[in-house]
Every structure is written in C-alpha cells, then in structure tokens.
Amino acid sequence: MKTYEVFLKRAGKDPFTHVGALEAPDDDLALSFARDCYARRSEGEQMWVVAREDLLVADPTELEMADRAHRHNDGTFLRDLRQAGSAEPT
Amino acid sequence: MRSWDSMEDFEAFLDGGGLVEPDDDMPDAYRQAVFRFIELHANSEYMGGLTERDWIAKAPGLTNKLTALAKTQDEIGHAHLLYMVAADMGVKTRDEMTADLLAGRTTFHNVFHYRAYSWGDQIAIAYLVDAAALASQQAVFKNCSYGPYKRILRRIIAEEGFHMRNGEELLLKMAKGTQQQHDMMQEGLDRWWWPAVQLFGPDSPPNDVLLRWHIKSERNEVLRDRFVQKMVPQLQAAGFTIPDPDLHQDPDTGRWVSGEIDWEALKAAIAGRGPDSERRLRDARNAWDGASWVRDALDEAAAVPA
C-alpha cells in the first residue's frame, strides 16, 4: 500500500486545497478511492492525487526564518511622519 | 521540525490557539491522548457504517435505500479519513488499529453495542445518536488543537448534518403516520434515548487533559444538558414521550432535568459487555474476512508491472 495526498479545487478562481490522505495499492486505485472518499458530493471540479513520497516538504522552521521585518513595510514611518505634520501649526 | 522546551511552553502554544501538525515534536502524553481519541472516533464510524449497511436492504422504499447507501458510504468514508489521520501520528499502523478493533482490544462508542430491531430503531438512531455525535464533534472542531483532525472534522460534520436532517425528516413522517408507525417510532425512541444521553459520557473530571489540550472545548455534562434541552421539546411537539419517568422542568429556570443516568450501562457497553456487543464484533470480523479477496486482488493487481 502507498500513501497519497489529495487536493481539490472547488470552482472558478479557488486555489487547490489539501483535503486529506488515503492508502491505495496503485495510482489508478488511488484516483478511484480519492473520488469515493473526498468527492462524493461534487466537492470539487478538479482533483490532484499525489504520492506522498513524491512530495518535497520544506522544514517549517526555515519558513519562519523567512519572515523578516524589512520585507514588511508596516507603515510606522509614514504614520509618525503624518502625525508630526498634523501637530504643526498651519 | 517545531519543538517545545517544556510542557508549559507547549500548553502556552495551545492556549494561544496554536495548531499541532504531524511533523511537530509534540509531547508524548499529548500524542497518545489525541491518538486514542481519534482511534475511538474512527472505530465508532466504522462500526456505525456496518450497522447502517444492514439497512440498505431492509429500509422501506427506494429513496430510503438510497439514503442508507449514501450514509453507509459516509460513515465508512469517515473511518477511512480518521484512520489515516490516526496512522500519521505514528503510534499504530492502520492494520494494527483494525486488528485491535476486531479482537476487542480497543473500544468504540456505546451506541454501537445495541441492536436495531425495527425501522423505528433506525430512525431513532439517525435522530438521537447522530445528533448527539454531531454535537460532540462540533464541540471538538470548535477548538481542536490537532491540525489534521480539525481539518477532517469540518468535512465529517457537514456530512453528519445531512444524516441528522434525514433523521428528523423521517421522525416527523412517522409522527404523522398511522398508529402503527407512531408506536414503532415510540418503541425506537424508548430503546435509544438512554444510550444517546449516555454517549456524552459522565461529567468531565476536574482536570481533563482533553479539555486542557484543546481537544474537547466543552465539558461532557454541558453538551449532555444542551442535548436534553433541545431534544425534549422537539420530541414532545411531535407527540412522543421520553422514557425517563423522573424527567421534569425546573420551575425556576424552565430547564429540563433528567432522572438518574445509569453509568454502569455505559461502562459495560464500552467494555464489550453490551446487549449486542458480541454479535456486532462477530459481524465486523465476518465482514473483514469476507472482503479479504478484494484486498488480495488489489495487492495482486498492484504487483503486476504496468
């Protein structure tokens, strides 16, 4: 048995979303089981089924490190500037 | 891999609404407790699916047979999803969980240790048991700290909602039917009221780790009370009685107060000493053994090179 991950795209502009996993002996049956388990009520208009062993998985701690303050302009400078400006006599 | 230096840090993470994922280095006590909870849920969906299956042939009329078929697919489907989530916790493989269930080494909900004799029983199950199970699952979903379980519960809850509405629809049809249908429905309610009330379990212990670790979001007694407040007026309005001679309305608050609950019946059922435990497990073993040729065929088909 192999483990597969299942992704569904609901409709239109929706992104593909991970909906769960399943076990199947081969790819054809994985697609069939995925329909039975995850799309019995037209939950999506497109489906991806991917063998778990083929997924490349990033280390979540490395993703946290990518969150640097200098990449987010939080507007502090502009806010302070505007506040200073409005305090001045016109 | 995320990890926490101490249980205090981990609990602070949970209290802050953090979601635990399978790759995280979670404390072992948390892993074990969450795994046991999901395994019990998976076992119960599986046993419930087998019960539902019995009614595909027996349900009256094509529409009810189709509904029974869809519900069977739903319950077995829920078991599939939950066993996957449980297996990914790395405590037991799926095969080990199946073997433990069929050997009676693990448990499933009390309500699947009773026999459904008539169509009235089956509607009582759909109406009372599905509503009780749905209320418990919604309370878990609300605050659930284990990511994969929370995500899969969303789907399960949506489908259980269909079952509950179907149960209510059938109950109201029986209420408006012949005297014979009304009596059959009342007998079903008489058999299933107490098991459904007991499904919520005895009052939660003061320091329940499932509450502290945000698996449950409500105490058992709160959910049970809410169920009684909702169900009693609905059943009475439909012309049925509740099989609890001590049930009364508090004159001050107007709330319904149940008579004493027989917790020994709950313990016995879960321990496999319920009225129908033996037959149910035998039936599950037969179903598993009877389908072995399908599993063998799938394995052989997969072994043939494309």
Domains along chain B with CATH numbers: 7-262 (1.20.1260.10)
**DSSP string spanning A35-70?**
HHHH-TT---SEEEEEEGGG-----HHHHHHT--GG
| Average pLDDT, integer, range B271-282 | 96
User: Does the structure's ipTM exceed the value 0.85?
Assistant: no
Residue B98, pLDDT score? 97
| Average pLDDT, integer, range B125-136 | 95
| Residue ranges of domains in chain A | 2-87
| Mutation to test the B interface, candidates A37, A52, A64, most B Cβ within 10 Å | A37
Residue A86, pLDDT score? 67
**A60/B21 CB distance under 8 A:** yes
**B73/A19 CB distance under 8 A:** no
Strand partners, A47: A8
Smallest Cβ–Cβ distance between B299 and the set A25, A40, A57 belongs to A25
Q: What is the pLDDT of residues B168-227, one digit of tens each?
A: 999 999 999 999 999 999 999 999 999 999 999 999 999 999 999 999 999 999 999 999
Q: The pTM is what?
A: 0.91
Q: Which residues of B touch A26 (CB under 8 A)?
A: 301-302
Q: What is the pLDDT of residues B241-261, one digit of tens each?
A: 999 999 999 999 999 999 999
Q: What is the pLDDT of residues B93-130, one digit of tens each?
A: 999 999 999 999 999 999 999 999 999 999 999 999 99
Q: What is the pLDDT of residues A38-65, one digit of tens each?
A: 999 989 999 999 999 999 998 888 887 7
Task: Residue B196: count other Cβ atoms within 10 Å of its Cβ.
Answer: 24
Strand partners, A50: A5
Mean pLDDT of chain A: 89
Distance spanning both ends of chain A, measured CA to CA: 76
Smallest Cβ–Cβ distance between A61 and the set B2, B73, B84 belongs to B2
Task: Residue B233: count other Cβ atoms within 10 Å of its Cβ.
Answer: 12
CATH 3.10.20.520 fits A2-87, yes or no: yes
| Rounded CA separation B119/B130 (Å) | 15
Distance spanning both ends of chain B, measured CA to CA: 37
Residue B304, pLDDT score? 81
Task: Residue B77: count other Cβ atoms within 10 Å of its Cβ.
Answer: 20
